[in-house]
Chains A and B, each alone.
Chain A
Amino acid sequence: GDSVTQMEGPVTLSEEAFLTINCTYTATGYPSLFWYVQYPGEGLQLLLKATKADDKGSNKGFEATYRKETTSFHLEKGSVQVSDSAVYFCALKANQAGTALIFGKGTTLSVSS
């Protein structure tokens, strides 16, 4: 079945460092891809999404490009801030109405000043 694999954490960075969190997927068909973020004590929030190959999702300085040829959707940010410390989840969703999200395990990011 469909699945998502993302890099193990925790990822520990200094402020202003470059961030990459790897995510690869296995799916039949052409799913939509998502990054969700969970700040301490809060629920999952959509960070960005891409719905077809070569789409780039972006938000709050984060970017991810839907790469069909490598089945990847890596999350990047050029300069992280302490406030970016959170757990990041890669997810996919089949393109059918009402279908569920399939999540990766989550990657904890800790940014220090």
Chain B
Amino acid sequence: EPEVTQTPSHQVTQMGQEVILRCVPISNHLYFYWYRQILGQKVEFLVSFYNNEISEKSEIFDDQFSVERPDGSNFTLKIRSTKLEDSAMYFCASQKGTSDHNEQFFGPGTRLTVL
């Protein structure tokens, strides 16, 4: 069964460093999302991506964040200069089509630890 994959499973970085989190969505899906979950808190929406551009973003998704779909299969989240408060589990999700009832399929997450 097709699934969303994410790499790495755990990333440790120093404050101020750049990190790139990678996701491979399900191949025929059109909508892509990043969410994050700070330990003990809610899963929060960061950004959605459709047709090679951002379709929606939250207040969290400020200038230090960017997303890219560089090659038609990968979907990346870049954090330019990490802060301690960026430590969280980051989930990628993909959705097949435009029906608002279409399920979002989630990856296993990348745990980012900023020291």
A37-57 near B? 1/0 per residue, CB < 8 Å: 000011111100101000000
- Asked whether any CB of chain A lies closer than 8 Å to the CB of B100, the reply is yes
CB proximity to B under 8 Å, residues A84-113: 89, 91, 93-106
**A81 contacts B by Cβ under 8 Å:** no
Report which of B44, B55, B105 forms a contact with A98, defined as CB distance below 8 A.
B55
Decide if A100 touches B91 in the complex (CB within 8 Å): no
The yes or no answer to A32 lying at the interface (CB within 8 A) is yes
The 8 A CB mask of B74-115 against A (1 = contact, 0 = none) is 000000000000000001010100111101111111000000
Interface size on A, residues (CB 8 A): 26
- Cβ-closest chain A residue relative to B57: A100
Report whether B91 and A43 are in contact in the complex, using a CB–CB cutoff of 8 Å.
yes
* Chain A residues within 8 Å of B, Cβ to Cβ: 32, 36, 41-46, 49, 51, 89, 91, 93-106
Bound Cα distance A50, B106 (Å): 19
Chain A minimum-CB-distance residue to B46:
A100
User: In the assembly, what is the distance between CA of A64 and CA of B56, in Å?
Assistant: 29
- What chain A residues lie within 8 Å of B105 (beta carbons)? 46
A97 touches B100 (CB 8 A): yes
Evaluate contact between B100 and A95: CB separation under 8 angstroms.
yes
Contacts of A105 in B (CB 8 A): 40-42
Q: Is the CB of A32 within 8 A of B100?
A: yes
Q: In the bound complex, do residue B101 and residue A49 qualify as a contact, i.e. CB atoms below 8 Å apart?
A: yes
